[in-house]
Amino acid sequence: MKPRSAIKTDLFADEHHRKKLDSLGDPLADIESHIDFVALAAEVDEVAPRPASAQGGRPPYPTETMVRILVLKRLYNLSDEQMEYQLLDRMSYKRFCGLVNATHVPDRTTVWMFENRIGEAGAKALFDGVSAQLLKQGFIARGGQIIDATLVPAPKQHNSRGEKALIEQGAMPADWKPAKRRQKDINATWTKKHGKSHFGYKLSINVDKKYKIIRRIETDTASTHDSQHFDNVFDAGNTSRDVYADRGYPSEAREAWLKEKGFRNQIQRKGKRNKPLSECQQRRNQRIAKTRVRVEHVFAAIEQMGGKLLRTIGQARANFAMMMMAACYNLKRLVYFRKAGIEAF
């Protein structure tokens, strides 16, 4: 007698699988229902119009499809090669991108070319587009602003002392062939934090206390001091006058400026040589830390999206990747608000 098996075949098995995905709760379906990707695609097309295809040539994929692919790539920290594979393999990815019945899906080269075509301007358009949808839902900046920065690691470069000296002078070693130059990141820099050396870039953000949404963003190399980005990420539109930051940001000039503009200085104090903080100042730092720590939740959420390690070479692509990190974090935040039934007030 033939042994019985729980495996049964059905011509409509795919349909059964899709229904099962819906019953289990497909996170991409939640994103689909709460994010207006048509509006995001329009924002990208405005700053980076689609190129006209030659007569008889293959037309480009719709911008909306490619935007959805970029969101998937960032949310799950996928390479271009893995993105192509997952689009062919995963039912949920194909459904999210509208490619269920498509004969062909965008390959790794198509994804790479789209990213390079829209560039930093396209990533900024996506960030602004998601921010606009948050504002439309009433999630304006409330409760005060928190400013902080995080290091974004990049692949370490192994250069000789002579090569490093040339790079610091803005020159390129003559013996580097074109193929080697493409793999050398001459923009990323080294810095020390808590006694450890780090190589890569820096992401500075402004988060509002109420909703923990990224309101402003600035990108740079790792060696740039956190405080240099303060003015660029400062948000004068927050409904509260409280400004929170850690001990890397205080200065007499900054405190005077905040006081002159009517903002409440909630920046932690920093002790100096032979002049440690008083007990009162330490208590003040501890009180501020309880609020300032909310920005660390944002960095942790970005880390959970697959990590902050960059797979790119050069400042321009690093800026694109960091901008996409912020855009996708805000996108997930909006989906969370809508799914949880949280209303803005």
Sketch the domain layout of the chain as residue ranges: 13-123, 141-340
The DSSP bridge partners found for residue 110 are none
What pLDDT, in 10s, does the model give residues 31-48? 999 999 999 999 999 999
Closest CA to 331 of 160, 165, 123: 123
Closest CA to 114 of 305, 320, 330: 320
pLDDT band (50, 70, 90) for residue 175: confident
Q: CA 75 to CA 241: how far, in whole Å?
A: 33
What b-and-e string marks burial along 58-94, b requiring 16 or more CB atoms within 10 Å of the CB? Answer: eebbebbbbbbbbbbbbbebbebeebbebbeeeebbb
Does the pLDDT value for residue 230 go beyond 80? Answer: yes
Does the pLDDT value for residue 295 go beyond 90? Answer: yes
The residue to which tokens 């808590």 are assigned = 194
Number of CB atoms found within 10 A of residue 138's CB: 10
Q: Is the pTM of this model over 0.85?
A: yes
CA distances from 85 to 78, 184, 301 (A): 10, 27, 25
